[in-house]
Amino acid sequence: MSEVVLQARAIGKSFPGVRALDKVDLTLAKGSIHALLGENGAGKSTLIKLLTGVHRLEEGELLLDGKSVQFDDPHAAIAAGIGVVHQERNLIPRFSVAENIMLERLGPSVLSRVDQATLRAEAKRWLDLLELDVNPATPVMRLSAAKMQLVEIAKALSLRSRVLLMDEPTASLTPHETEHLFTLLQRLKRDGVTIVFVSHKLEEVLQICDSVTVLRDGRNACQSQPMTGMGRQDLVRLMIGRAEQIPAWETRDRTTAPVALQLDKVSTSLGHQDIDLTLHRGEILGLYGLVGAGRSELAKCLIGLFPLTGGKVTIDGQPAAIGSVAEALNRFGLGYVSEDRKQEGLVLAHSVLDNAGIAVWSKLAGFLGFLKNGQIRERVLPAIERLEVKTPSLAQQVGLLSGGNQQKVSVAKWLAAGVRILIIDEPSVGIDIKTKAYLHELIRALADDGTSVLLITSDMPEMITLADRIAVMDGYRLTGTLVNDRDYPRMSQGIMNLIHGEEQDAA
C-alpha cells in the first residue's frame, strides 16, 4: 500500500443520549479516492466533523503523516491541509464568488485592505480548473444550486488541501456535471491529493473509488479495504449488516379495497404537475424518487402546508380542499411523519407525553380548552406501548431519547390521533437496524388494520420490503407506478428505468 497521509485510530464521540462513534479507524493513502459509506445516522457526518476540527477530538488519535495532531477549530484543520465540502451549503449568500472562495485569505491582519482584483484573479484560476463559467464578481445567491456546489469545491481546492473530504458532492449535480467532477477528481488524485468521497449513490462509488470504509451504527463495518473485487451487494451488506433480503411477506393486493385518497391531475405551488395517485384503504403505496424529486414537497402540499394550484384531491370519496394541517388532521384523518424529525417531527425540548399527545389536544380539550393529563395519557399510552418506545418515563425530554425511539414517538403521535391515512417520510433515517425492522413490521401491521400508508423512502430495500405498489417520481412529476412483486433485482431495475424515463421495461 502506498504512503499513508491521514490515519484515525479508535475515534469515539458521544452526544447527550447517543453514542455516535465508537472506536472507529480510518486509513487514507496518498493520491487515492476513498469511499466513506454508511446508512444515515451511521456516524459519517460526525466522523467528518471530527476530522475537520468542527468537533473536538476527545477519544482516539489522529495521525497526519505519522504524527499525532489535534485540531482545535476548523481553521487548524484547514491549515494542516484538510479541506472539506460539507453537505449543507456553506457560502455567504451576498458575497461574491471570489470572496467566498477566498474567505480564509482576505488579508494577513484584520485591518488589511481586501484587494478584490487579486481575489478575483486567484478565484478565476480555480474556477477555470473546474471549467466553471461564472463571473467571480457575481454574488453566490444568484447562482443555481449546482453552481454553488461547484463553488464550494473550488473553495476547498483553492486551499491546496492534501486531503479533501466531500460529503454528498453530487447530490445537486446533473449526470453531466457529475462526470465532469469525476474527471477532475481523477486529476487531483494523480496530483497526489487524497479524496474522501461520501455518497449514497453506490454506482458512483463503485465507479471512482479505490478503497472503502463502511460505518454501521457508529462502528467500523470495514476499514480501508481496497475496492477491487467489490460489488454493489458487498457494499450494501457491509452497510446494513446483511444482504438486501426481503422478509418473506406475502404480496398483498389492496387495489380492490375502497379508495382512501385520490389525486386527480394535481399541481401545486411548489411546482408539481399533473399528479395522479390512488391510495386504497389498507394499502401501502410507496413513493420513490431521487433526492429533489419532489416527494416530501408533495406530502407537504397534501397536508395543507402549501397550496395546491390545480386538480382535485378526494378523501374517502369526499372532495377535500385542505387549507391547514389542523384541517387535514381533524377533518380528514390525515397525518404526516416528517423526514426531518428534529425540525418538523418533534418538539425536542418537550416531554414524550407532550410530543405524543400534541395531535390529540384539540380533540380532548373540554370547557375553556381544559385538558386532563390523565386523558391524554390514556390516548397516548396504547400507541407508545404498541411501538415499544423505550423511555424512563412519559415525562422524559424527547431530545434525550435515541434516534430510533424519537422516530417511534413521532409515529406514535399520529397513531394516538387515530389517523386513517398516514404519510411516512423516510421512516428509518438515523435509526438502528433493529428499530428499523420493528418499524417495518409496525407499518405493515397498521396497513393490515386498515390504515392507508403513503410511504416515501429513498431506501430501495425498505421500499421493496414494505410497499404494495410503488409510484416513481422524478422532477416533480409521476413517471409511473409498479406493482411490487418483491423480486429485488427486477423491482430496482424497473424503478431505475422509470426514473431515467425508459418506460418500456416497466411492469
Partner 1 sequence: MQPASSLPLGQPRSAGSPSFVRAGFLGGNEFGLIVLIVVFATLFTLATKGFASPFNLFTLGRTMGIDILIGFSMMVVIVSGGLNLAVGAIGVCAVMAAGWAMETFGLPWPLGLAVCLLVGAALGAVNGEAIVRSGVHSFIITLATMSIFFGGMVFLSRAEAFRELPPAIAAFGKLRLMGFLSPLLLVAVATALVLGWLYRFTSLGRRMLAAGASPKAAEVSGIRVDRTIVGCHILSGVLAALAGAMLTARHGAAIPSMAGHLGQDWLLPAFLAPVLGGTLLTGGKVSVLGTLLGAMLVSMLTNGLLLLRVGEFWVQAFLGLLLLTAVLLDLGRRRLLARHRIAV
Partner 2 sequence: MQSMLGKAANTDWFGPLVVVIAAVVVIGAIEPTFLSAFNIQVLLSAIAVNLVIALAQMIIIAIGQMNLSVGAIGGLVAIAFAGMMEVWGIPAPLALVLALAIGLAGGLANGFIVAKTGISAFIITLASLSFFKGLNLGITEAQPFYGVPDAVKAFGNTNMIGPIPWLVLPAAIAGLGIWYLLAKLRIGRQILAVGGNPHAAELSGISIFQTTVWAHGLSGLLAALGGVMVVARLQIGQPSIGDDWLILSFAAPVIGGAVLAGGHVSVAGTALGVVVVAIITQSLVLFHIDPFVVQVVLGALILWAVGINRWREVRVERRLRGAS
Is residue 2 a contact residue for partner 1 (CB under 8 A)? no
Residue 142 binds: one of partner 2, partner 1, none (C-beta under 5 to 8 A by kind): partner 2
List of residues 6+ apart from 108 with CB closer than 8 A: none
Please say which residue, 18 or 82, places its beta carbon nearer to partner 1.
18
H or E element, residue 10: strand 4-15
CA distances from 124 to 67, 82, 119, 186 (A): 35, 22, 8, 21
Task: Single out the residue of 75, 232, 390, 434 in contact with partner 1 (rule: CB under 8 A).
Answer: 390
Q: How many alpha carbons lie under 13 Å from residue 448 in its C-beta half-sphere? A: 10
Binders in 14-73 for partner 1, by CB under 8 A: 14-17
Residue with cell 379508495: 259
The H or E element that residue 213 is part of is strand 211-216
Pick between residue 76 and residue 433 the one whose CB is nearest to partner 2: 76
Per CB under 8 A, 402 contacts partner 1: yes
- CB of 103 closer than 8 Å to CB of 47: no
Q: Which does 92 bind (CB under 5 to 8 A by kind): partner 2, partner 1, none?
A: partner 2
395 binds, among partner 1, partner 2, none (CB under 5 to 8 A by kind): partner 1
Query: What does DSSP assign to residue 397?
Result: B
Interface with partner 2 (CB under 8 A): 52, 54, 73-75, 78-79, 84, 86, 88-95, 99, 103-104, 106-107, 109-114, 141-145
359 binds partner 1 (CB under 8 A): yes
- Per-residue buried b or exposed e for 20-43, using 16+ beta carbons within 10 Å of the residue's own CB: bbbebebbbbbbbbbbbbbbbbbb
Rule CB under 8 A: choose which of 175, 318, 368, 504 binds partner 1: 368
Q: Does 441 bind partner 1 (CB under 8 A)?
A: no
The alpha carbon torsion through 471, 476, 479, 482 (nearest 10 deg) reads -10
**Residue selected from 28, 57, 383, 389 as contacting partner 1 according to rule CB under 8 A:** 389
Residue 181 and residue 255: Cα distance in Å, rounded?
45
Q: 400 contacts which partner out of partner 1, partner 2, none, CB within 5 to 8 A by kind?
A: partner 1
CA end-to-end distance (rounded Å), the chain: 47
What does 107 bind: partner 2, partner 1, none (CB cut-off 5 to 8 Å by kind)? Answer: partner 2
**Which of 242, 265, 253, 377 is closest to 311 using CA atoms?**
265
Query: Which residues 274-313 are close enough to bind partner 1 by CB under 8 A?
Result: 303, 305
* Contacting residues toward partner 1, per CB under 8 A: 14-17, 303, 305, 324-326, 328-330, 336, 338, 340, 343-350, 354, 358-359, 361-362, 364-365, 368-373, 377, 381, 384-385, 388-395, 400, 402, 405, 413, 417
